[in-house]
Amino acid sequence: MTRCAAFVLFFASAIVFQPSRGVEVNVTDGQDKLCLYANLMVHFSVSYEETANKSVTTGFELSKDVTTNGSECDATSSMLKLNFGDGHSWSVNFTRNGDWYQADSITFSYNLSDSTVFPNSLSNETKSVTVKPQIANVGVDTCYSCKSKDVISTDLVNMTLSDVLIQAFVINGSKSEMISSCSADQPTTSAPPTTQATNATTDAPVTNATSTAPPPTTTPTPTLPPPTTGNYSIKSDNITCLLANFGLRIGFKQGETYQEMNLEPNATTVSGSCRVNSSELQLVTNTMTIMFTFTNDTAKFHLHALNFTTKSSSGVAFNVANSNLSLWEAALGSSYMCNKEQNYTITSLLSLYTFNLRVQPFGVSKGVFSTAYECFVDSDLSFLVPIAVGVALSFLIILVLISYLIGRRKSRTGYQSV
């Protein structure tokens, strides 16, 4: 395997190829060596205002006649920028940490004055959206591959990525033949697809139409001590906008091996963002990266997506994501709390165990949690469940006894009348 050597920042030139599917780009450095490779398809869906004061949605593809002006290669960061059409561009920023890299952001800029794509647009502005992609812990000597469709949504723009093949840090000018596949492309077990749900004691279901059966029942009983509760926060313009307290244990299955690890707050780097309709909390240690994405629907918030990456002792990357969750739901302006241990099945390969959980991703006031919405197992009503079960069983026993006595009496009466 080639090892990465530091090289100096320089603006890249590029050669663009046009295969039958997707857009293929070779970005080269000042010495005309390949430093970034990409082959991918992107479909855009954009809502905009027409002159008739109505909202319309248009769809278009990343065209093959792209240019790569503005693309950059560096020892620790790189950017792929694809310019197309009349003033549109799509770019991805990558950062490298040792022998691993990740995509930090995707920015899409679209020119509303382009009447070919946006006929009768009320605005002639060029607008931009920036999102966080689920690409992390990719080896610098491997290509990130994701043939499956990945839909990234914002208020006005949806981007659908497919048939993606990217190597953001090319070593010695030669594209690697090694592949790091996204979780959506990884083979699943032979069990038929099912809809996953949380543990029966949780208060919100996990909906994941693409997941398969949970890890086999041979999974070993956890032997780790309870994780330490960490306090995490995100600030925007120096004002706290997201709060989260919890102890976290992650269980994951890689190949035939099931492993568990606790998140150590004292060894965790915290980052994230707060936007109007979505907030993100990213926790990074030397062994894992976990991203929580929260959304709101103007009345309630919930955990919408979770992305987990780690690497085994042999250096094999492991990445699992679910962007169709509905966990930790509470009204906007309040927080969600669940102190008792909870177990959530995120995918067939990933489970989450939470302890002393409390989160508020929106509407934080004065840097403190708002009134908490308690999960069912924490509430005072949880004790009613075993009582209700006991009462129901008692009634059932009484009914069976009464039926037996009536049947016996009828049988005796019939005998006497003969």
pLDDT of residue 231: 96
Confidence of residue 153 (pLDDT cuts 50, 70, 90): confident
CA-angle at 234, arms to 228 and 236, nearest 5°: 170
Domain assignment present for 246: yes
The helix, strand and coil proportions of the chain, stated in percent and rounded to the nearest 5, come to 10, 50, 40
Phi and psi, residue 401, nearest 5° = -65, -45
Check residues 112 and 397 and name the one with the higher pLDDT.
112
pLDDT of residue 382: 46
pLDDT tens digits for 214-239? 444 444 444 588 999 999 999 988 99
pLDDT tens digits for 340-352? 999 999 998 999 9
Q: Strand 157-167 relative to strand 126-131: parallel, antiparallel, unpaired?
A: unpaired
Mean pLDDT for the stretch of residues 48-55: 81
pLDDT of residue 189: 45
pLDDT of residue 316: 72
Q: What is the CATH number of the domain that holds 53?
A: 2.40.160.110
Please indicate, yes or no, whether residues 353 and 234 belong to a single structural domain of this protein. yes
- Whether the pLDDT of residue 381 is over 60: the answer is no
Number of residues assigned to the chain: 418
- Whether the pLDDT of residue 158 is over 90: the answer is no
Domain assignment present for 29: yes
Mean pLDDT for the stretch of residues 144-157: 85
88: helix, coil or strand? strand
Report how far apart, in Å, the C-alpha atoms of 158 and of each of 51, 155, 210, 276 are.
Answer: 22, 8, 20, 17
Q: Strand 143-146 relative to strand 157-167: parallel, antiparallel, unpaired?
A: antiparallel
Domain assignment present for 201: no
pLDDT tens digits for 64-90? 889 999 999 888 889 999 999 999 999
Residues in CB range of 222: below 8 A, 6 or more apart = 249, 251, 260, 353
pLDDT of residue 126: 92
- Whether the pLDDT of residue 5 is over 60: the answer is no
Q: If we measure between CA atoms, which residue out of 310, 305, 320, 249 comes closest to residue 285?
A: 310
User: 409: how many CB neighbours lie within 10 A of its CB?
Assistant: 10
In sign, the C-alpha dihedral spanning 235, 104, 183, 23 is: positive
pLDDT of residue 203: 41
Please indicate, yes or no, whether residues 170 and 287 belong to a single structural domain of this protein. no
Please indicate, yes or no, whether residues 174 and 294 belong to a single structural domain of this protein. no
Please indicate, yes or no, whether residues 249 and 325 belong to a single structural domain of this protein. yes
Confidence of residue 10 (pLDDT cuts 50, 70, 90): very low
Question: How far apart, in whole angstroms, are the C-alpha atoms of residue 314 and residue 259?
Answer: 14
Please indicate, yes or no, whether residues 50 and 179 belong to a single structural domain of this protein. yes
Q: Answer yes or no: are the C-beta atoms of 345 and 206 closer than 8 Å.
A: yes
Lowest mean pLDDT among 4-8, 154-158, 161-165, 261-265: 4-8
Please indicate, yes or no, whether residues 123 and 238 belong to a single structural domain of this protein. no
Question: How far apart, in whole angstroms, are the C-alpha atoms of residue 380 and residue 384?
Answer: 8
Question: How far apart, in whole angstroms, are the C-alpha atoms of residue 38 and residue 73?
Answer: 13
Please indicate, yes or no, whether residues 327 and 245 belong to a single structural domain of this protein. yes
Please indicate, yes or no, whether residues 100 and 20 belong to a single structural domain of this protein. yes
pLDDT of residue 344: 92
Domain assignment present for 211: no
Domain assignment present for 406: no
Please indicate, yes or no, whether residues 154 and 251 belong to a single structural domain of this protein. no
* Dihedral angle of Cα 263, 346, 316, 253, to the nearest 10 degrees: 100
Please indicate, yes or no, whether residues 263 and 176 belong to a single structural domain of this protein. no
- Whether the pLDDT of residue 353 is over 70: the answer is yes
Confidence of residue 211 (pLDDT cuts 50, 70, 90): very low
Q: If we measure between CA atoms, which residue out of 183, 184, 211 comes closest to residue 195?
A: 211
Please indicate, yes or no, whether residues 244 and 136 belong to a single structural domain of this protein. no
For tokens 């190829």, name the residue.
17
- Whether the pLDDT of residue 148 is over 70: the answer is yes
Q: If we measure between CA atoms, which residue out of 189, 137, 190, 193 comes closest to residue 168?
A: 137
Check residues 314 and 346 and name the one with the higher pLDDT.
346
- Whether the pLDDT of residue 289 is over 60: the answer is yes
351: helix, coil or strand? strand
Please indicate, yes or no, whether residues 268 and 377 belong to a single structural domain of this protein. yes
Mean pLDDT for the stretch of residues 284-295: 92
Question: How far apart, in whole angstroms, are the C-alpha atoms of residue 177 and residue 179?
Answer: 6
- Indicate the helix (H) or strand (E) that contains 414: helix 384-416
- Whether the pLDDT of residue 414 is over 90: the answer is no
Q: Taking all residues of the chain, what is their mean pLDDT, rounded to a whole number? A: 81
pLDDT of residue 63: 85
| Total of domains in the chain | 2
For tokens 């946006």, name the residue.
118
Mean pLDDT for the stretch of residues 101-121: 91
Percent of the chain with pLDDT over 90: 41
Check residues 98 and 8 and name the one with the higher pLDDT.
98
User: 274: how many CB neighbours lie within 10 A of its CB?
Assistant: 20
pLDDT of residue 338: 94
Residues in CB range of 219: below 8 A, 6 or more apart = 251, 253, 258
Confidence of residue 183 (pLDDT cuts 50, 70, 90): confident
- Whether the pLDDT of residue 402 is over 90: the answer is no
pLDDT of residue 34: 92
pLDDT of residue 392: 76
Question: How far apart, in whole angstroms, are the C-alpha atoms of residue 288 and residue 267?
Answer: 11
Confidence of residue 114 (pLDDT cuts 50, 70, 90): very high
Question: How far apart, in whole angstroms, are the C-alpha atoms of residue 26 and residue 205?
Answer: 44
Domain assignment present for 398: no
**What is the domain range of residue 68?**
10-185
